[in-house]
Amino acid sequence: MKYILFLIIGYIVFMCIKKPKKTSKRNKAKKPLTKKKPKGPPICPYCKEILENRPKRNKKCPSCQHKIIIRRGKLLTESQAEEYDKKELERTRKAIERQNMKTLISYQKSGIIKYVEILAAGQNSCSVCKKLDRKKILLKNELRKPTLPVKNCTGCYGFCRCCYSPVV
């Protein structure tokens, strides 16, 4: 009798306690996307003179007459801009590699696709990519050593725009 009473009380207590709701990433409030305003006055990256207004596009410094290059709101010298562009291309290349690998893995998980075909970017393709266009490759081999993005691609975008297409 005591055991049954204990179970009933336990059940009532259990039902009265509110369980915390599980929050998923979708339910969390997202912060609005706003551009970060650069702090402080605009300064020429060459002569370190304070500029009257923050330039919105590339222009020459009124003091030293060197070309100031803008990248994402930052004022850069030409050499800094080249370095920044190289880093951006490498970041883009790595993102393309990750996306291509996800695509190949999804093809493998389907269990249907055994071969993939490389599709070049048409007229915007470089000579290396044009040679690979419509080439069929075994999916297992491509997962081990991906062909895309082509490392020495010289396409007009600065990075390889080729993609995989499943062969059913």
pLDDT per residue as tens digits for the range 100-143: 999 999 999 999 999 999 999 888 788 888 899 999 999 999 99
Total structural domains within the chain: 2
Pseudo-torsion of CA 33, 34, 38, 40, nearest 10°? -130
Instruction: With respect to residue 152, please indicate whether it lies within any of the assigned structural domains.
Output: yes
Instruction: With respect to residue 28, please indicate whether it lies within any of the assigned structural domains.
Output: no
**pLDDT interval class at 24 (50, 70, 90):** low
Instruction: With respect to residue 22, please indicate whether it lies within any of the assigned structural domains.
Output: no
Pseudo-torsion of CA 101, 144, 92, 125, nearest 10°? -100
Note the pLDDT of residue 66: 96
Instruction: With respect to residue 137, please indicate whether it lies within any of the assigned structural domains.
Output: yes
Q: Which domain holds residue 95?
A: 90-167
Query: Distance (Å, rounded) from C-alpha 139 to C-alpha 96?
Result: 18
Note the pLDDT of residue 8: 58
Nearest in space to 52 (alpha carbons), one of 63, 64, 65: 63
Give the pTM: 0.67
Instruction: With respect to residue 21, please indicate whether it lies within any of the assigned structural domains.
Output: no
Partnered with residue 75 across adjacent β-strands are: 70
Burial 131-157, CB ≥16 within 10 A → b, else e: ebeeeebebeebeeeebbbbeebebee
Token pair of 162 as six digits: 């080729």
